[in-house]
Chain A
Amino acid sequence: MTTLAALAHSFPALLAQAQIRIPTFQSPPLADYMRILPELVLSLFGMLIMIVDPLLDEESSHESLGTIALIGTLAALASTFWMAQYPGTAFSNMVRVEGFSIFFHFLVIAISAVAVLSSFEYLRVQRIRAGEYYGLILFGTVGMCLMSSAIELVLIFIALEISSISTYILAGFRRRDAASSESSLKYFLLGSFATAFFLYGVALMFGATGSTSIDAISEVLRSGNVPVLAYVATAFIFVGLGFKVASAPFHVWTPDVYEGAPAPVVGLMSTGPKAAAFAVLLRVMFEANVPGRFWLIWVSAALSMTLGNVGALVQDNVKRLLAYSSIAHAGYLLVALAAQPELGTSAAMFYTAAYAAMNVGAFAIVSHLANAGEKYVALEDYAGLGKSSPVLAATLTFFLMSLIGIPITGGFFAKFYVLSAALKSNLVGLTLILVLNSALAAYYYLRIIVMMYMREPRGEVPVTRIPAAAAIAIAVCVAATLYLGVLPGRVLDYSVRSARGLLSDRPESTTSSAAVLSRP
């Protein structure tokens, strides 16, 4: 016994004698964990839901699981503010907390919170099991959050996969409906294909620059000696991300997937992963300053706007119509990416926020009206809504006006900033295409308004009272759209400052992102 103790005691000394070195695991400092606090909180709540789910009976689980998910998102929102106190990089330069990533954390988590709220009624009406549903929303949000703060291409890829896989499954949640399964499978197959492109692009970028870290890539590319391989890598990465943001010519999946997927999920996936993917695009395109991006973006922006709007003109299904509209909006956003980095970044950030507010709101209303089995999603089902449900119709009209881009809505300023960024960068051609497209787009949004106000209600479409949770979700979206439309200054100032932080040279950046946070 004593010998054993003695042996144990002398073991390190023995090891030292034998010159065997065990790599010591230095646990990262606590601050590193603070820098991924929202992700941790979301994962914990996601797991909690999975654990609690089997303990509850199916009938009563909807409300309680939804509440847990909601608390989880709110806690993550609160922890975002906490995270903001710790600007800087974490986990050996894998993650960076700065104005830019805080913005997208806040946005993405807020989107999921509203999506959770608008799912309360939906899951009950559609008889969908709540456990996995809410769990997947939270896990997906983890991925989206991580996408915005990761500064390492491989970590970005992992985060992208976390968010994508969750949405692949969520898209198929209306199991009783073949369209939903089709949607899920289509999204999964095409999505995996696109992610493979992204991964290939990452590999090529590593080959070209010798690193997968955005900072290092940026340094190599800025040094002036740009290898040809980097151009190919840029194109591949753009293909992968272009798929995620549903920009043409990688958009063909969008209408089918949006049509089949559950409406609240569409609200989420047309804004959350899109915002996160745009965060990655901004990072890769502007921060890493990849070569040969201009014409890629230019062509894709022009195509997305035109194909999206033209496609939307002839749709008779509201979800499909909004799917095409989201393609067009991706195009408007890409215009910002074609502009000068500093102007474009802030315009794009503002746009993602405004688009999220109005689109999630519109889908919250669509999912309320859809009813059991998503029976009522045709344009005709909205006939006479102005009479049968005036408040809901007025609210949807407000969101549609924002999507058209009428003043005092967030959508107007979003478009306005993109336009002025484009004009300041002398992109006259793209500006003209954008202007013509906005005029064209007014027509199909107007069709919904016309349907609601100028047609007689159809008897068979039931009008149900809107439950409190959905009402809160819609109210939050209205408030956000109105806030961004009437007092856009604060959000824009913030995005301008964080864009500067993102694009300034690295040594300064930590101080500047600290400055971003310290300012009111």
Chain B
Amino acid sequence: MNMESLGPIVLSLVTFIPAAGGLLILLIPRRDRDIKLFALVISVLAFVASLHLPVHLHRDHNLFKFEIDKVWITTPNIHYHMGIDGISVWLVVLTTFLTPLCVLISWTSIHDRVKEFFILLLILETALIGVFTSLDLFLFYFFYEATLIPMALLIGMYGHGRKVYAAVKFFLFTMIGSMFMLAAIVWLYAKTGSFDFVVIQNAIRSGSVPGFESASLWLFLGFFIAFAVKVPLFPFHTWLPDAHVEAPTAGSVLLAGVLLKMGTYGMLRFNIGLFPAQAHRNAPWIMILALIGIIYGALVSLVQPNMKKLIAYSSISHLGFVVLGIFSFTTAGLNGAVFVMLAHGVATGGLFMLAGILYERRHTYEIIDFGGLATPMPKYATFFLVTVLASVGLPLLNGFIGEFLVLSGAFQARPIYGILAATGVIWSACYLLWMYQRVFFGKVTHEVNATLPDLNLREKAALAPVAIAALVMGVAPLVWLSAIDPAVQAALGFTQLASRMVGQ
């Protein structure tokens, strides 16, 4: 059996190993240590299995790989249709990469209802992977909604402060957004008789969908609102700071690292893939919203007294770059957008883990409560610095590549957009480095901080992969981009065709 034919099986395995593991945890008696170890083994297993995908992914042509297409329900015509391309494969790996780290970072910080926590975490992982691997709109919607419940429960059950408020707000914002997407999906099904992404795409391209012309704007908006809430694009962002601040560390890591990417991935796959003409037509105002997000997010970050809130707002700013890149419709912009998604997942995931480690020791996120931490915690300070620099976009670390590509794409689209977006890079250096300075440099300002223990082995094991990934991605981005580029070219080739067709 050759590796190519193993692919579809591996893809399904990667998707469902975590959830199966989560259900197995149900059977384990409530001994916390066993449960944690089991969850770690399962999540590492999923990560190792997922590495098969990029290794054996053919990078030369742009079709979906590792496809599996089985009939699930006949009426309506729903298929179990999975497959990945050069964009989604990395998002899958990002998910499986972050989950074991989440397990490690929650090792001691979760002590109540441990069993439920890891079940939810693993089910969430399956749902997240499923979002990136499904090619059937129904399946996609199912996984998209399935991320909601475990995430809301993670925030509501294990968070702190106004956790219930944050959980409900998160749930409702996303739910309301996705109802519009559901209506659009049902419309497409009603007119094409299929949920299959490829079938619908071909039907739209060949112009055989009745009434599509008049409905396409509304369909585009239906999808767009759902994804814009998720990204979150200004002005739909208000749920994000609440959710992040109150969420447990693992929740924040997956929320910022992967969940937000569901929105940008959806825009790339569905808004551009299905409605390229509308995407072109609406690009100007969307790019302006993205720019507002970049600058607004950065400015708000600058004045945050709370470390986690600062990182949360920085996510809004970074995700603005992604949206800007996607709607610039340039090769560089789209490549950069996908790369920023990955880089942001790694770096911001790392920052949230670091903040969580500090919270475990001091039970506060307020920057004012810290100062001079570099003296008692030198190793911690080093990891923090690497991650901050990666996030800022220092060359040779992963943040730089993506932002650079997005900026050059934005310049090509319209110079003023590039110039404005470039200020975002400067702002991010300001707020992150200033925060770093206040927390780590100078004398120890509070007595309690002088005796804080440095990182232990488990924490180092959780942070080292992040630092290594940030460095490798920064030094050898081509490993990633060589897979991303063909997929992006495919998406772009079609959008240019469409824009010629509509005469723009």
Assembly CA distance A416 to B188 (angstroms):
13
Residues of the B chain whose Cβ atoms lie less than 8 Å from the Cβ of A431: 183
User: Does A492 sit within 8 A of B, measured CB to CB?
Assistant: yes
B151 CB → nearest A CB, Å: 13
Q: Number of contacting residues on A, CB 8 A? A: 33
**B179 near A423 (CB under 8 angstroms)?**
no
User: Does A51 sit within 8 A of B, measured CB to CB?
Assistant: no
Residues of the B chain whose Cβ atoms lie less than 8 Å from the Cβ of A442: 171-172, 175-176
User: Does A438 sit within 8 A of B, measured CB to CB?
Assistant: yes
User: Does A446 sit within 8 A of B, measured CB to CB?
Assistant: yes
User: Which of A401, A439, A492 has a CB less than 8 Å from the CB of B179?
Assistant: A439
With A435-B179, A450-B156 in contact, is A407–B141 under 8 Å at CB? yes
B80 CB → nearest A CB, Å: 12
Residues of the A chain whose Cβ atoms lie less than 8 Å from the Cβ of B175: 404, 439, 442
**A407 near B189 (CB under 8 angstroms)?**
no
Residues of the B chain whose Cβ atoms lie less than 8 Å from the Cβ of A453: 153, 156-157
**A416 near B186 (CB under 8 angstroms)?**
yes
**A435 near B180 (CB under 8 angstroms)?**
yes
Assembly CA distance A439 to B176 (angstroms):
5
User: Does B74 sit within 8 A of A, measured CB to CB?
Assistant: yes
With A424-B190, A450-B167 in contact, is A493–B183 under 8 Å at CB? no
Interface string of B124-162 (1 = CB under 8 A from A): 000000000000001001100110110011001100000
Interface string of A382-422 (1 = CB under 8 A from B): 00001100100000000001001011100000001001100
Interface string of A473-507 (1 = CB under 8 A from B): 00000000000000111001100100000000000
**B182 near A435 (CB under 8 angstroms)?**
yes
User: Does A443 sit within 8 A of B, measured CB to CB?
Assistant: yes
B150 CB → nearest A CB, Å: 11
User: Does A436 sit within 8 A of B, measured CB to CB?
Assistant: yes
Assembly CA distance A410 to B85 (angstroms):
32
With A435-B183, A442-B175 in contact, is A489–B145 under 8 Å at CB? no
**A420 near B157 (CB under 8 angstroms)?**
no
**A454 near B157 (CB under 8 angstroms)?**
yes
User: Does B92 sit within 8 A of A, measured CB to CB?
Assistant: no
Residues of the A chain whose Cβ atoms lie less than 8 Å from the Cβ of B456: none
Residues of the B chain whose Cβ atoms lie less than 8 Å from the Cβ of A496: 75
Q: Number of contacting residues on B, CB 8 A? A: 33
**B113 near A450 (CB under 8 angstroms)?**
no
Residues of the B chain whose Cβ atoms lie less than 8 Å from the Cβ of A432: 183
Assembly CA distance A493 to B152 (angstroms):
36
Where chain A touches its partner, the secondary structure class is helix
Residues of the A chain whose Cβ atoms lie less than 8 Å from the Cβ of B455: none
Where chain B touches its partner, the secondary structure class is helix
Q: Determine which residue in A407, A432, A443 has the highest number of CB atoms from chain B within 10 A of its CB, and name it.
A: A407
User: Which of B149, B180, B186 has a CB less than 8 Å from the CB of A401?
Assistant: B149
**B75 near A492 (CB under 8 angstroms)?**
yes
- Which residues of B72-96 are within 8 A (CB) of A? 73-76
Interface string of B160-192 (1 = CB under 8 A from A): 000110011001100110011011001101100
**B167 near A420 (CB under 8 angstroms)?**
no
**B142 near A407 (CB under 8 angstroms)?**
yes
Give B148's nearest chain A residue, CB to CB: A406
Residues of the A chain whose Cβ atoms lie less than 8 Å from the Cβ of B183: 419, 423, 431-432, 435
Give A438's nearest chain B residue, CB to CB: B179
Give A418's nearest chain B residue, CB to CB: B186
Residues of the A chain whose Cβ atoms lie less than 8 Å from the Cβ of B156: 450, 453-454
**B172 near A487 (CB under 8 angstroms)?**
no
Give B178's nearest chain A residue, CB to CB: A439
Residues of the B chain whose Cβ atoms lie less than 8 Å from the Cβ of A450: 156, 164, 167-168
Residues of the B chain whose Cβ atoms lie less than 8 Å from the Cβ of A439: 172, 175-176, 179
Give B188's nearest chain A residue, CB to CB: A423
**B179 near A436 (CB under 8 angstroms)?**
yes
A241 CB → nearest B CB, Å: 28
User: Which of A387, A446, A488 has a CB less than 8 Å from the CB of B171?
Assistant: A446
Assembly CA distance A416 to B116 (angstroms):
31
Assembly CA distance A424 to B190 (angstroms):
6
Q: Determine which residue in B76, B168, B175 has the highest number of CB atoms from chain A within 10 A of its CB, and name it.
A: B175
**A419 near B186 (CB under 8 angstroms)?**
yes
Residues of the B chain whose Cβ atoms lie less than 8 Å from the Cβ of A443: 168, 172
**A387 near B141 (CB under 8 angstroms)?**
no
Assembly CA distance A401 to B76 (angstroms):
21
Assembly CA distance A404 to B167 (angstroms):
16
With A453-B157, A489-B74 in contact, is A446–B172 under 8 Å at CB? yes
Residues of the A chain whose Cβ atoms lie less than 8 Å from the Cβ of B148: 406
User: Which of B145, B167, B176, B182 has a CB less than 8 Å from the CB of A454?
Assistant: B167
Ordered by A's residue number, 19 sampled pairs between the chains whose C-beta atoms are within 8 Å are A401-B149, A406-B145, A406-B146, A406-B148, A406-B149, A407-B145, A408-B142, A416-B76, A416-B182, A420-B189, A423-B186, A435-B182, A435-B183, A439-B176, A442-B175, A453-B153, A454-B156, A454-B167, A488-B75
Interface residues of A (CB under 8 A from B): 386-387, 390, 401, 404, 406-408, 416, 419-420, 423-424, 431-432, 435-436, 438-439, 442-443, 446-447, 450, 453-455, 487-489, 492-493, 496
Kindly list the 4 A-B residue pairs having the minimum CB-CB distance in the complex, ordered from nearest. A407-B142, A439-B176, A454-B156, A439-B179
Contacts A386-B116, A435-B182, A447-B168 known; list 5 others, CB within 8 Å.
A390-B116, A423-B187, A439-B172, A453-B156, A455-B164
